[in-house]
């Protein structure tokens, strides 16, 4: 068996053709026709109010922090078990981050622990739809209404996911997506800011275009463009947008393939007395599955290390992720000392299995057999 990587970028067909088309058209800087087609795709398919593709989800989170005017003295609530960018965007503005534990049986933020951390300095809640599994958005939006807070969905992993029947990314005031090569739909690096609260639309475009009203100028609404606000170069080139559009046009094919892989892992790993050996994803009843990632929960950090080592010896790359942020070298001394034991357990015990478009059935069988062999569950 060849080496099985954890992730592998893939082409669906038209990526290179679209990039060529962009170059030949004479424009590869940002905000051109491919960018607009990406925006329309999302606005039409998921009824997002306004979309702005960005160079990354990190950039989109930074835009969200600027738009909500979060700054020194403000507090932002988010899970500890997440990627650094969720927190960094607000730290960069001088805010304080207050970390919340995960659910006992699901890595997402435990919505029941949020209210007790709200103070008169709290400005926003940032739920992260980990693995594309929805957070309890009714509860979170209810808290936001009660305390007058912004909700910024970190939907980096959540494309095509739903909370009840609503698309993830359409519920918070703002939300952010990623098209990093490890996500379902990719453009190498890439992301998107979604603006659902119309009061942010104008300013979002300005921040996106380096603090200028260039978008309004292109629409013919002003006769010259000027520096009107703070901003940065958050918009991607047409090369990225062209690649992304080719992927988006095949979203259903991508999702179908990922569904097959995900469901095969689940059905094959639920065998014998598996529950005594490891945990598998538990999807909250209000959430859909977008098949973003498949994980197992080992009994201990030691068992996880042995499993990863065992698979590595067979040329299979399985990985773990997210050292809980409240224990990171950067944040440890700034954290208020609360123990976040479920976040810590997922940090220590969660392992992600290879899941990508071109993973073959044969390769997947080999991964599954190797795992069952490790746990002594092989039939």
Ligand X SMILES: *Cc1c(COP(=O)(O)O)cnc(C)c1O
Q: Alpha helix locations (H) across 209-250?
A: 214-218, 238-248
Q: Which is nearer to ligand X, 64 or 371 (CB)?
A: 64
Q: Which is nearer to ligand X, 58 or 213 (CB)?
A: 58
Spatial distance between the Cα atoms of 150 and 57, rounded to a whole number of angstroms: 18
Q: Estimate to the nearest angstrom the gap between the alpha carbon of 295 and the chain centroid.
A: 15
Given candidates 39, 180, 258, 326, which one binds ligand X under the rule CB under 6 A?
180
The answer to the question of residue 154 lying near ligand X (CB under 6 A) is: yes
Q: Which is nearer to ligand X, 82 or 212 (CB)?
A: 82
Q: Which stretch binds ligand X (CB under 6 A): 55-63, 69-77, 132-140, 294-302?
A: 55-63
Q: Computed from CA positions of residues 343, 345, 347, 352, in that sequence, does the dihedral angle turn out positive or negative?
A: negative
Q: Which of residues 119-138 bind ligand X (CB under 6 A)?
A: 128
Which residues make Cβ contacts (< 8 Å) with residue 330, sequence separation at least 6? none
Given candidates 35, 86, 184, 187, which one binds ligand X under the rule CB under 6 A?
86
CA dihedral 374, 280, 306, 4 (to 10 degrees): 80
Q: Which is nearer to ligand X, 59 or 368 (CB)?
A: 59
Query: Contacts with ligand X: how many residues (CB under 6 A)?
Result: 14
Neighbours of 161 (CB within 10 A): 24
Given candidates 35, 82, 196, 287, which one binds ligand X under the rule CB under 6 A?
82
Q: Which is nearer to ligand X, 35 or 85 (CB)?
A: 85
The answer to the question of residue 178 lying near ligand X (CB under 6 A) is: yes
Q: Which stretch binds ligand X (CB under 6 A): 66-74, 154-162, 301-309, 327-335?
A: 154-162
Structure tokens at 204: 């979002």
How does DSSP classify residue 287? B
Among 163, 192, 359, 337, smallest CA distance to 260 is for 359
The answer to the question of residue 157 lying near ligand X (CB under 6 A) is: yes
Nearest approach, Cβ of 91 to ligand X (angstroms)? Answer: 14
Structure tokens at 95: 């805010």
Radius of gyration over alpha carbons of the chain, in Å? 21
Nearest approach, Cβ of 64 to ligand X (angstroms)? Answer: 12
Cα distances (angstroms) measured from residue 166 to each of 41, 194, 200, 210 = 17, 15, 21, 32
Nearest approach, Cβ of 156 to ligand X (angstroms)? Answer: 3
Q: How would you label 182-197 residue by residue, b for 16+ Cβ within 10 Å and e otherwise?
A: bbbbbbebbbbbbbbb
Nearest approach, Cβ of 213 to ligand X (angstroms)? Answer: 26
Q: Which is nearer to ligand X, 82 or 237 (CB)?
A: 82
Cα distances (angstroms) measured from residue 55 to each of 26, 158, 187, 221, 270 = 21, 17, 10, 26, 39
Q: Which is nearer to ligand X, 208 or 375 (CB)?
A: 208
Q: Which stretch binds ligand X (CB under 6 A): 36-44, 77-85, 264-272, 330-338?
A: 77-85
Neighbours of 102 (CB within 10 A): 27
Q: Between 205 and 224, how does the x/- string for binding to ligand X read (CB under 6 A)?
A: --------------------
The answer to the question of residue 58 lying near ligand X (CB under 6 A) is: yes
Q: Which of residues 189-208 bind ligand X (CB under 6 A)?
A: 191
Q: Which residues bind ligand X (CB under 6 A)?
A: 56-58, 82-83, 85-86, 128, 154, 156-157, 178, 180, 191
């Amino acid at each position: 068996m060849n080496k099985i990587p954890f992730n592998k970028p893939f082409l669906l067909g038209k990526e290179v053709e679209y990039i060529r088309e962009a170059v030949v058209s004479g424009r590869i800087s940002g905000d051109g026709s491919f960018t607009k087609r990406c925006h329309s795709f999302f606005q039409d398919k998921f009824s997002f109010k306004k979309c702005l593709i960005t160079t990354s989800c990190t950039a989109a989170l930074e835009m969200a922090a600027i738009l909500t005017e979060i700054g020194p003295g403000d507090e932002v609530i988010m899970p500890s078990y997440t990627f650094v960018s969720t927190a960094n965007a607000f730290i960069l503005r001088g805010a304080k981050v207050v970390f919340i534990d995960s659910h006992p049986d699901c890595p997402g933020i435990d919505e029941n622990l949020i209210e007790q951390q709200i103070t008169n300095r709290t400005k926003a809640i940032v739920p992260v739809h980990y693995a594309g599994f929805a957070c309890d958005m009714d509860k979170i939006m209810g808290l936001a209404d009660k305390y007058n807070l912004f909700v910024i969905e970190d939907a980096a992993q959540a494309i095509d996911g739903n909370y009840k029947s609503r698309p993830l990314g359409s519920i918070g005031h703002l939300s952010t997506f990623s098209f990093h090569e490890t996500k379902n739909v990719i453009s190498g690096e890439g992301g998107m800011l979604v603006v659902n609260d119309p009061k942010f639309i104008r300013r979002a475009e300005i921040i996106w275009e380096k603090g200028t009203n260039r978008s309004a100028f292109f629409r013919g609404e002003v006769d010259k463009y000027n520096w009107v606000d703070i901003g940065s170069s958050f918009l991607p080139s047409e090369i990225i947008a062209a690649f992304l559009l080719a992927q988006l046009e095949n979203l259903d094919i991508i999702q179908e393939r990922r569904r097959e892989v995900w469901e095969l892992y689940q059905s094959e790993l639920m065998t014998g007395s598996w529950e005594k050996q490891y945990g598998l994803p538990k999807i909250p009843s209000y959430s859909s599955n977008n098949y973003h990632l498949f994980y197992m929960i080992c009994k201990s950090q030691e068992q996880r290390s042995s499993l990863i080592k065992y698979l590595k010896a067979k040329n299979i790359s399985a990985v773990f992720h997210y050292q809980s942020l409240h224990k990171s070298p950067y944040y440890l001394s700034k954290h208020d000392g609360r123990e976040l034991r479920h976040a810590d357990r997922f940090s220590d015990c969660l392992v992600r299995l290879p899941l990508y478009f071109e993973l073959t059935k044969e390769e997947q069988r080999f991964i599954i057999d190797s795992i069952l062999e490790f746990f002594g569950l092989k039939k």
